[in-house]
């Protein structure tokens, strides 16, 4: 389990995260929603150790995140941030292989190459493996970075340890087919003893995929629970300043929102 207790974080007197506590369970697909500037990406940075809170602590299992050696963290935790450009001129295969860096010393093994290829295949990008990463479209870049984090958390058959996957708007550049393909894939991964924390803006995707929703507003958690519990008419009006209408999906019966 991931446990965050009373996290607060400010920059120059600006409170970006205000006394946030939460538990994230392995096996549970958590989606994080909220308006622009609510603090979603900042919360992700605090939960992954990219930023250090002025107040509060983050625990991975029974260990404080700050006490876990970075080499260990690199094998249990993967992060996809919103920034997709790279400072170097790398091929697609080389970008995905970055996800395997925690596992080899100088040269990737045959297994590392196989895992990288499999992850590219999983996101529909295997045929691009020799292309220059910089030459890809925005959506193609996003898929390659997804393959990189999948390669980083790839499990060996006897590995049952908890893994932690953090994705900041991973489908923002993807067409509707790949939005669903990637979220289905991530849901399958969550079921394999993985803590999954995914920031999205699409409320209907949360109704469809999320097992837990965290709705953020103004540096705090506005609501946490199932999508039906959290994404209510009152909450959406209060947080997004928009009146929603709810329909019922004709086949699945789940809630669908229109505005």
Ligand X SMILES: Nc1ncnc2c1ncn2[C@@H]1O[C@H](COP(=O)(O)OP(=O)(O)OP(=O)(O)O)[C@@H](O)[C@H]1O
Considering the complex, state which of residue 47 and residue 96 has its C-beta at the smaller distance from ligand X: 47
| CB contact at 8 A, 45 and 17 | no
CB of 90 to ligand X, least distance (A): 26
Q: Which is nearer to ligand X, 41 or 208 (CB)?
A: 41
CB-wise, 40 or 148, nearer to ligand X? 40
CA 49/CA 160 separation, integer angstroms: 23
Residue 237 in tokens: 């009006």
Q: Which of residues 16 and 195 has its CB atom nearest to ligand X in the complex?
A: 16
| Residue 234 CB, nearest approach to ligand X (Å) | 21
Using the minimum distance from each CB to ligand X, give the nearer residue, 125 or 214: 214
Q: Of 37 and 138, which CB lies nearer to ligand X in the complex structure?
A: 37
| Buried b / exposed e along 174-211 (16+ C-beta atoms within 10 A) | beeebbebbbeebbebbeeebbbbbbbebbbbbbbbbb
Report the interface residues with ligand X, using CB under 6 A.
Answer: 11, 14, 16, 34, 36-42
Alpha helix stretches (DSSP H) within 53-170: 70-76, 92-97, 110-122, 138-152
Least distance to ligand X, CB of residue 216, Å: 6
Alpha carbon 185 to its chain centroid, in Å, reads: 12
Q: Report angle CA 170, 134, 93 to the nearest 5 degrees.
A: 75
Distance, in Å, from the CA atom of 29 to the CA atom of 48, rounded to the nearest integer, reads: 17
Minimum Å gap between C-beta 193 and ligand X is 27
As a whole number of angstroms, the longest Cα–Cα distance in the chain is 56
State the DSSP H helix or E strand holding residue 256, giving kind and residue range, or none if neither.
strand 255-258
We find the least distance from the C-beta atom of residue 139 to ligand X, in angstroms, to be 18
> Considering the complex, what minimum distance in angstroms separates the CB of residue 138 from ligand X?
16
């Amino acid at each position: 389990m991931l446990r965050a207790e009373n996290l607060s974080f400010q920059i120059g007197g600006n409170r970006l995260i205000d006394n946030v506590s939460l538990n994230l369970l392995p096996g549970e697909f958590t989606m994080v929603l909220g308006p622009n500037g609510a603090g979603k990406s900042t919360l992700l940075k605090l939960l992954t150790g990219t930023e250090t809170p002025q107040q509060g602590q983050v625990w991975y299992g029974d260990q404080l995140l700050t006490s876990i050696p970075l080499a260990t963290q690199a094998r249990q935790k993967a992060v996809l941030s919103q920034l997709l450009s790279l400072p170097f001129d790398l091929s697609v295969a080389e970008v995905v292989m970055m996800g395997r860096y925690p596992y080899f010393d100088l040269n990737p093994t045959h297994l590392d190459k196989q895992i990288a290829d499999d992850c590219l295949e999983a996101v529909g990008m295997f045929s691009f493996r020799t292309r220059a990463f910089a030459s890809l479209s925005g959506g193609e870049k996003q898929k390659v970075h997804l393959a990189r984090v999948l390669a980083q958390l790839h499990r060996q058959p006897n590995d049952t340890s908890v893994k932690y996957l953090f994705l900041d708007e991973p489908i923002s550049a993807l067409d509707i087919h790949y939005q669903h393909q990637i979220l289905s894939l991530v849901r399958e991964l969550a079921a394999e003893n993985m803590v999954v924390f995914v920031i999205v803006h699409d409320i209907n995707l949360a109704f469809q995929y999320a097992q837990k929703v965290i709705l953020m507003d103004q540096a705090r958690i506005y609501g946490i629970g199932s999508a039906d519990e959290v994404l209510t008419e009152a909450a959406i009006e209060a947080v997004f300043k928009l009146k929603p209408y709810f329909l019922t999906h004709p086949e699945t019966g789940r809630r669908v929102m229109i505005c």
